Amino acid sequence: DIQMTQSPSSLSASVGDRVTITCRASQSISDYLNWYQQKPGKAPKLLISAASNLQSGVPSRFSGRGSGTDFTLTISSLQPEDFATYHCQQTYSTPWTFGQGTKVDFK
């Protein structure tokens, strides 16, 4: 199985901060990498597919980069509704696997 490791596991930030979350794969996964946002008590929501493809309706302050083994999700200016947990996921090979999640909370 491909292991996905996110860092940090949690971070505290303020509204307006620039936030970057890293996801590292245990082997090269090309750009087969998705990012999801999950709020408490809710299902995950797809933010970015194929490492950098922003989904329709997702604010442009979200961006994704990377290829191979190293990927980042950046929120350029954190908004109150962005406090949530973020998950990366690979679809290079089954079983699809997720990172452990990064919780973004209020500083």
Partner 1 sequence: QVQLQESGPGLVKPSETLSLTCTVSGGSVSRNYWSWIRQPAGKGLEWIGRIYSGGSTNYNPSLKSRVTMSVDTSKRQVSLKLESVTVADTAMYYCAREEYYGSGNLWSFDFWGQGTLVTVSS
In the block, tokens 């999950």 appear at 38
Between 36 and 62, whose beta carbon lies closer to partner 1?
36
Binding site for partner 1 (CB under 8 A): 1, 30-32, 34, 36, 42-46, 49-50, 55, 87, 89, 91-101
Cα–Cα distance measured from residue 68 to residue 30, given in angstroms and rounded to the nearest whole number = 4
Between 75 and 97, whose beta carbon lies closer to partner 1?
97
Q: Are 89 and 34 in contact (CB under 8 A)?
A: yes
Between 17 and 72, whose beta carbon lies closer to partner 1?
72
Residues 6+ away with beta carbon under 8 Å from 100:
4, 5, 6, 9
Q: What's the closest the beta carbon of residue 91 comes to partner 1, in angstroms?
A: 4
